[in-house]
Structure 1
Amino acid sequence: MTTAVELLRTTTGRLAPDPAANRLVPLIARGAARRETLAALALEEREVVAADRRAFLHLAGRPDAGPECAAYFRALAEGEEEAGRRLGPLLTACGADRPGAADAHEPLAGCRAYPAYVAWLALNADPVDVVLALTANFAAWGGYCETVARALRQHYGFDDEACAFFDLFAGPAPDLEHRAQAAVRAGLEAGRVHEDLVHRYGRLLRSYESMFWHTLWETDRERGERTAGR
């Protein structure tokens, strides 16, 4: 019988993104992304954090979640709450907290697709299947955050406080990993894991994650073309 640890590992491996799929993170890593793009990234993350926190709290409160899944999603919600507190200095460093800056930013549909799908999962998917799909996606997200945090320090002069949002997700999270294992283990024992659906959910999460970054990359490219055309 497949164990929770094995299932988490194989699911994460199968859903790993194409290394070339994310064009924005390498751009930031080289210090080539525009500060306006960094500001847009911070503003969009503010919306994602708020939406995901509510989705995780809903999942934790669902009657079919079970204590293990509920604990996992409560931990995620607490993480999003901490992330929200850390966004302030990042917004300041990007210049996104200047008067009128947030109002001038037009919401990007490609960036809003990911939290919209997380909300759909919160309403429609079996909680343990969501645990598996999210855990697989978080592996790539952590690597992106590590790269961005390092680049913001090296190329943009951001201090530790301004990088704290990305630092939060860049490091290992053994407690969350243990909670995920416990949730999946309980789901396996109850016969609640639907691997075909997990891979569908994970594939779509991966696609929407890529869309988030690609939308911001396109925005940066369009800004460059407008500048060059002046």
Structure 2
Amino acid sequence: MTRTAGELLEATTVRLAPDPGANPLLPLIASGTAGRGVLAALALEQRLVIAADLRSFRHLAGRSAVEEPTCAPFFEMLAEGEAVAAGRLGAFAEACGADGERTAAYEPLPGCQAYPSYVARLALGAAPADVVLALSANFASWGGYCATISRALRDHYGFTDEARAFFDFCAESAPELEERARAAVQAGLDTGRISEKRARTYGRLLQSYEAMFWTTPARP
């Protein structure tokens, strides 16, 4: 029996769920033992990720409008979300001491920038429906990470609501985005344009690159 989009999304998310130890930075922040310098690096790396992903999602939205129109609303909403996130990240960076001079002198960490580089690669040539499935599975753990970080920033670091707004925004549930993902995946299934195998490969690599993002700043 052919699976529905909802069933495929759920199965793929479960299959690609990250190992509990894949994010060594999270427990350090959650316990308040991560230094301010580590938080500053997180802010500066995330700023670069957002800028890159925003361009990738806009490109995917444009490609989808021509190749797979049902996927376009998903990527459009992702791009809109990245723009909002970018606006809220500044207060976090400022609270971490990542001022203009530090930002200008900062050298990005390769392990943190592998993820957006791969998203850009997918944006250039992957089938949009496959990317929807892969990204949806990858996003499943992101909100939980951000909720944990926001609580820790309040309880252990004394950050204001404004300084935590980026993480609060990313921790919010997104039922409309989930609905757009289901519509895109269902259209891909109906037209035979989606490949579970390809999407799982994309998702597995995305999870690996995200693990690198969190592991790199946690290194001594």
Bin for the TM-score computed over the shorter chain:
over 0.9
Structure 1 residue matching 2:20: 3-state secondary structure: coil
- Worse overlay, 103-112 or 28-37: 103-112
Q: Distance in 2 between matches of 1:61 and 1:178?
A: 20
C-alpha displacement at 1:68, in angstroms? Answer: 1.8
The residue that corresponds to 1:113 in the other structure is: 114
The residue that corresponds to 1:142 in the other structure is: 143
The residue that corresponds to 2:157 in the other structure is: 156
- Mapped pair 1:122 → 2:123: yes
C-alpha displacement at 1:64, in angstroms? Answer: 4.6
Q: For structure 2, list consecutive stretches of 5 or more residues without a partner in the other structure.
A: none
CA-atom RMSD in angstroms: 0.9
Question: Over residues 183-210 of structure 1, what are the superposed CA-to-partner deviations in whole Å (9 max), with x where a residue is unaligned?
Answer: 0111111101101111110000000000
8 A Cα contact 1:65 1:128, kept in partner: no
The residue that corresponds to 2:4 in the other structure is: 3
Question: Over residues 122-175 of structure 1, what are the superposed CA-to-partner deviations in whole Å (9 max), with x where a residue is unaligned?
Answer: 011100000000000101111111111110111000111111111111121001
Structure 2 residue matching 1:161: 3-state secondary structure: coil
Q: Distance in 2 between matches of 1:200 and 1:120?
A: 13
Q: Distance in 1 between matches of 2:191 and 2:66?
A: 12
C-alpha displacement at 1:67, in angstroms? Answer: 2.4
The code of the aligned residue for 1:29 comes to A
Q: Distance in 1 between matches of 2:56 and 2:110?
A: 19
Matches within 5 A, 1:91-110: 91-97=93-99, 99-110=100-111
Matches within 5 A, 1:31-110: 31-62=32-63, 64-97=66-99, 99-110=100-111
The residue that corresponds to 2:21 in the other structure is: 20
Structure 2 residue matching 1:100: 3-state secondary structure: helix
Q: Distance in 2 between matches of 1:181 and 1:169?
A: 20
Matches within 5 A, 1:209-224: 209-218=210-219, 221=220
Q: Distance in 1 between matches of 2:186 and 2:161?
A: 37
C-alpha displacement at 1:41, in angstroms? Answer: 0.3
Q: Distance in 1 between matches of 2:14 and 2:67?
A: 25
Structure 2 residue matching 1:159: 3-state secondary structure: coil
8 A Cα contact 1:83 1:168, kept in partner: yes
The residue that corresponds to 1:227 in the other structure is: none
Structure 1 residue matching 2:156: 3-state secondary structure: helix
Q: Which runs of 4+ in 1 moved over 6 A?
A: none
Q: Distance in 2 between matches of 1:39 and 1:22?
A: 17
Q: Percent identity?
A: 62
8 A Cα contact 2:68 2:129, kept in partner: no
Structure 2 residue matching 1:213: 3-state secondary structure: helix
Q: For structure 1, list consecutive stretches of 5 or more residues without a partner in the other structure.
A: 222-230
The residue that corresponds to 1:172 in the other structure is: 173
Question: Over residues 24-49 of structure 1, what are the superposed CA-to-partner deviations in whole Å (9 max), with x where a residue is unaligned?
Answer: 01100000000001000000000000
Q: Give the TM-score, by structure 1 length.
A: 0.93
Structure 2 residue matching 1:83: 3-state secondary structure: helix
8 A Cα contact 1:59 1:65, kept in partner: no
Q: Distance in 1 between matches of 2:105 and 2:36?
A: 15
C-alpha displacement at 1:66, in angstroms? Answer: 2.4
